[in-house]
Structure 1
């Protein structure tokens, strides 16, 4: 367990104050932490008629999160609490959603967690929970159970406690996520491994890429398509209409992670799709293509153009270009489309080299309207495949 001395949330004059990180953005808390807070508050109401305005939720990072309670009610043996999920400055569809937990005593000993309205159901293998389970991930389940234990001072209540987690409007919000693609239907997921949302964190994006590949592999897909975003994914779907939706994974900047996961899960073929800016970076061997890693290496593209037989005037123009799109304009104006094939071929080769030759790799470069500029593939090395 990672420890930290700095509690990220504290109460100041009756208000919960979340800190700002060195970049000046405000942190938040996860849906899992929200559910744990609501669980603890509801149990305190159920057992001791307490109505806390705030509760302290232990984070797996080793500190407590102070989380405000939005609502509390009791009727016919069931206590209900609600928490407004606060993602801080992180853009997330769950920010502002209310996580509602209803608790009641049941005859069976122990803690029984189930999903209510707006919480999705897992329908495909390859996730952390089996098909048929509510989409409440393992760490949030532990945090919810801990909330019960804190309130009741026992980890194995007898009679037991049934905990039902709901998200009003969750089914509609889930349409803005990729849940249905990875086999989570009917609502949102209760997520989080630390309880804390780090603004603009790429960790959750990377996790979703790996999870999507896990699901594709668990469903015996032999070919997945990694795209740099929604637009390139739409273009890729048009050239691979026979592939199921789960075969398409928006990898974003995590090309290297996606390729390695495909190897780990035994997926033999990967197609990498994108526009010139991203593929030009991959062609240099840059497997994490965040903008912070720098712009397109136009000097590399100029050298590639020279090796492909471009005249020196075009080479010089490419070498002084501003962006990848500018390079594309120059290539089109000169009619030297051979360079697109070279970029695609280098991209495929570098991606394959990244995984030591064990994948068959295809690279597809689109223009900004979905036309194919360049396409190349390299087969897995026979002695390694």
Structure 2
């Protein structure tokens, strides 16, 4: 039986852009639209995106809806609707042609006074696709709405990176590569190999926001390596490339999986976070009633908050999370040794949803003296 290649799809900004294009074209043409063409910008190619619904709301204002399709990717936004409300009006000289707003379900950036979590690529794709459709004397205001955004955001680590009440329109490309696509892992491995030639110590970050937070802690950006959920193979690659030491920098609800020997961290593939947390809490001697409460917590974040709320909460958190970090370090070192026959010193930095660092392995201070 012949195996089919996993199918790539498109990132959320592409569908936001397609909805905006559909709404604007409907205002201009007042003809039904089944699909629109959109310039992905990065990569420089066109994509055809189906339009689910489009309607005029009032004079000069229309709503269009597309539906996210990230391809064969384990993405929680798959099949979620993306709305764009576009208002077309006359433009005064020397004013912006395209204004972009975040509506319901689009996250707010706490560190930017509640500004909508619509980042550079999303703005770029909207600007570069809408401006060519406008005359010099026209302007549009675009409001992106994610009706399921608040609900879906509860299943993400957005709050750990200062984004609340919804999802981010985040990314650097229009193509969503499936997690199983070897090209994605290969790109990460190539980046790691290049940086391993320059540095004995590298810092692994699971996501884009983790990269940003690590920079804020004084880490040299050139030492940072994005891993997505491919921690296992990239740990091995680090050993094979002769890296001497690694720092794993991440949200505790992700990295805790490594303490249980889970080295692919996507939640669709494995999730034993509360069980791991409970086991290590028992190992350091927490009382049975606290352990039982931890096991029945809704999330690792709520379990952490429960520990903090105890009378001696600071001490409990310190004891439990020190054990978690040391176990992550040990398991990662053993994993590298087993699969690459190389010894690499590993340290961990774990932070919570409020971007507060919970614990830092002792080895981190040794290999990253500049770490704040």
1:28 and 2:9 matched: yes
* TM-score, reference length from structure 2: 0.56
Instruction: Tell me how far apart the structure 1 counterparts of residues 349 and 18 of structure 2 sit (CA, whole Å).
Output: 46
C-alpha contact 1:30 1:196 (8 A) present in aligned 2: yes
1:186 and 2:165 matched: yes
Instruction: Tell me how far apart the structure 2 counterparts of residues 101 and 113 of structure 1 sit (CA, whole Å).
Output: 10
Equivalent position of 1:90 in the other structure: 73
Equivalent position of 2:142 in the other structure: 163
3-state secondary structure, aligned to 1:380: helix
C-alpha contact 1:136 1:190 (8 A) present in aligned 2: yes
Instruction: Tell me how far apart the structure 2 counterparts of residues 75 and 225 of structure 1 sit (CA, whole Å).
Output: 47
Instruction: Tell me how far apart the structure 2 counterparts of residues 91 and 362 of structure 1 sit (CA, whole Å).
Output: 26
Equivalent position of 1:41 in the other structure: 22
Equivalent position of 2:109 in the other structure: 122
Would you tell me which structure has more helix in proportion to its own residues?
2
Equivalent position of 2:57 in the other structure: 75
Q: Deviations over 1:199-240 (max 9, x none)?
A: 11657998753422423664899x99542356569739969x
The alignment covers a number of residue pairs equal to: 250
* TM-score, reference length from structure 1: 0.55
Instruction: Tell me how far apart the structure 2 counterparts of residues 189 and 161 of structure 1 sit (CA, whole Å).
Output: 22
Match of 1:380 among 339, 354, 366: 366
Trace 1:1-385 onto structure 2 (pairs within 5 A): 24-59=5-40, 60-77=42-59, 78-106=61-89, 109-124=96-111, 130-152=112-134, 154=135, 157-200=136-179, 209-215=207-213, 218=216, 226=250, 227=255, 228=258, 229=265, 231=272, 235=277, 274=328, 277-282=331-336, 284=337, 296-297=338-339, 350-351=345-346, 361=347, 377=363, 379-380=365-366
How far the C-alpha of 1:140 sits from its partner, in A, is 1.1
Which of the two has higher C-alpha Rg? 1
C-alpha contact 2:12 2:169 (8 A) present in aligned 1: yes
Instruction: Tell me how far apart the structure 1 counterparts of residues 148 and 273 of structure 2 sit (CA, whole Å).
Output: 30
Instruction: Tell me how far apart the structure 2 counterparts of residues 111 and 181 of structure 1 sit (CA, whole Å).
Output: 31
Q: Which runs of 5+ in 1 are unaligned?
A: 1-21, 125-129, 240-244, 249-270, 285-295, 302-345, 352-360, 365-374
Q: Which runs of 5+ in 2 are unaligned?
A: 189-203, 220-246, 259-264, 266-270, 285-300, 305-324, 351-360
Choose between structure 1 and 2 for higher RCO, CA contacts under 8 A separated by at least 6 residues.
2
C-alpha contact 1:232 1:275 (8 A) present in aligned 2: no
C-alpha contact 1:116 1:165 (8 A) present in aligned 2: yes
